[in-house]
Amino acid sequence: MKREIKELIELINKNKPGRSINIMEVCGTHTMAISRYGLRQLLPESINLISGPGCPVCVTPIGDIDWIIEIARQYDVSIFTFGDLFRVPGTESSLYNEKSRGRDINICYSPIDVLNFAKTNPDKKVIFIAIGFETTIPLTSVIIKKAYNEKINNFYIYDTHKLIPEALELLLLDKEVKIDAFLCPGHVSAIIGSKPYGFIAKDYHIPCVISGFEPLDILESIGMTAKQVKEGRSEVEIQYKRVVREEGNPTAVKSMYEVFDRSDSLWRSLGNIPGSGLKLKYKFLRFDARAYFPVKKIKSSEPAGCECGNVLKGIKKPTECKLFSKACKPENPIGPCMVSSEGSCAAYYKYEKFKT
């Protein structure tokens, strides 16, 4: 592998543009791999990697955390969530803190486990927090259809699903954000394919490369993006060809839109992005936890001094936040980027906080 890495670095140096460029890795898994393997330190100074909003836990609005907490406080329900969301701070508490106070909040590994729990406990009202991008949405769709067909009436979802391409367009329209190329997410692209990114290359003249997750994948993808910039090209290329096809997975996409319609969605720090979210179709509205568990008016506020918003936009690196590794650490997170296994701050803290 050392020889292959050396060859890729030489190729990157050969194809680097004659100016500094910012390449945004959209996916949090890419961010973690870049930090873990020290890839940032291997690149020429003119190539700057910046993190994007590719962590679903990180972009979940604090108001959603507060709403779920209020449901747990006001109703006799069993709530299930994936592990990363468990410790994300809300305005005054977290799901972890509420669990310690006796609320019925549980970590799950698959939504099918939650549905099975609802089936075997018909007297309980059961809520699954549906979170994630296009990668996990098809599974939520399958679970909803299964619940509908089997008439499981005590099962609900709190939907926080979001769609990646619309968020990338918002970043391109933000004058504070300087992006010369995208490393597009491999897992999301395995579902949606490469075509949904076409507008980025065509309308904004920004190169895109869909990357795999191994160090060699990422370095090859960086070389491909740098070459596009150097040659003045703007295309959507697939490096991760062993998994991603141009058309994606049509069956999975069809499943998504059998259950959901597109809607506007609020992203933490990015604001309301038109068409970037999903809402249950009328046929499946009885599974909507927000509709069936209304809560009192919530006053949500972001933690003072936290730079997660600018980190998610790629404007600042985690180390530029005054709270980073001081008040904000994995054992005492202030913002979501320090909590999630795909969060930029968590990646920097674990692998790069002592690197220059």
Write down all domains in the chain, each with its CATH number in brackets: 58-162+248-292 (3.40.50.11740)
Q: What are the beta bridge partners of residue 80?
A: 106, 128
Give the count of alpha carbons within 13 A of 45, CB side only: 1
Q: What is the pLDDT of residue 355?
A: 56
**3-state class (DSSP) for residue 58:** helix
Cβ neighbors of 14 (< 8 A, separation 6 or more) are none
CB atoms within 10 A of CB 6: 11
**Whole-number pLDDT of residue 284:** 98
How far apart are the C-alpha atoms of 159 and 192, rounded to whole Å? 20
Q: What is the pLDDT of residue 101?
A: 96
pLDDT of res. 356: 44
Provide the token pair at 246: 């141009």
Neighbours of 184 (CB within 10 A): 34
Residue 32 CB coordination number (10 Å): 24
* Contact (CB, 8 A) for 314 and 23: no
Centroid of chain to Cα 338: 14
Tokens of 282: 């009328």
List the structure tokens of 267: 């992203």
pLDDT tens figures, 46-85: 999 999 999 999 999 999 999 999 999 999 999 999 988 9
Angle at which helix 28-36 crosses helix 215-231, to 10 degrees, equals 110
User: Which of helix, strand or coil describes residue 182?
Assistant: strand
Residues of the chain where predicted confidence (pLDDT) is lower than 50: 356
pLDDT of residue 172: 96
| 208-210 and 181-184 beta bridge pairing | parallel
Question: How far apart, in whole angstroms, are the C-alpha atoms of residue 89 and residue 106?
Answer: 16
Structure tokens at 227: 């070459």
pTM attached to this predicted model: 0.93
Q: Give the C-alpha separation, 351 to 32, whole Å.
A: 9
Q: Strands, E, within the chain: which ranges?
A: 21-27, 47-54, 77-81, 105-107, 125-130, 155-159, 181-184, 208-210, 236-238, 260-267, 271-280
Supply the DSSP symbol for 292.
Answer: H
State pLDDT tens for residues 110-166. 999 999 999 999 999 999 999 999 999 999 999 999 999 999 999 999 999 999 999
Contact present, 134 and 166 (Cβ < 8 Å): no
In the chain, the amino acid numbered 173 is: L
